[in-house]
Amino acid sequence: MKIAIYPGSFDPVTLGHLNIIKRAALCFDKLIVCVLINSDKHGGLFTPEERADLIRRVVAKLPNVEVDSSDTLIAEYARQKRACTLVKGLRAVSDFEQEVQMAVINRKLNPRLETMFLASSDKYTYLSSTVVKEMARYGADLGEFVPREIVDDVDRKMRQAQEKENDLSLIHI
């Protein structure tokens, strides 16, 4: 059985992520979408558990896709899951250098692990979770950016985060 892992922070999952998930699922017997804690990204809008739950709702109709989360190195996680491939989406050339560096490191840590790069579909090259969060902060319609199943969740979570920020700013006055 050919098992692949699509790792990421997915805070929140976007239509660009979903496009990569659907395309990668066609290439493998099983695709594990794994929510990882990114040491470069502190905090987050959603907890890792919430992110995994949102993704599960979005991929519910994809029979060979499962969702998990991990706080281990992805090379070790892949070894534990007997995965042969990491799937990485590339939006632009600027993503390529860092992703190749990580692919080489992961292969050194797990020599049986390959990395497959999937170029983003044209309509999603501009899209990132960071952009989605910024639009949500200003109340923009997210319908063209995140799966419809989770638009309300993103809006609600952003309102809660803003209310918390406002409460904290009142304390410091």
Catalytic residues: 17, 41, 91, 129
Residue type, 36: L
Residue 5 near residue 102, CB atoms below 8 Å? no
Residue with tokens 């497959």: 116
Kindly compute the dihedral angle of the four CA atoms of residues 49, 143, 92, 85, in this order, to the nearest 10 degrees: 40
R_g over Cα of the chain:
17
The helix (run of H) or strand (run of E) holding residue 88 is strand 85-90
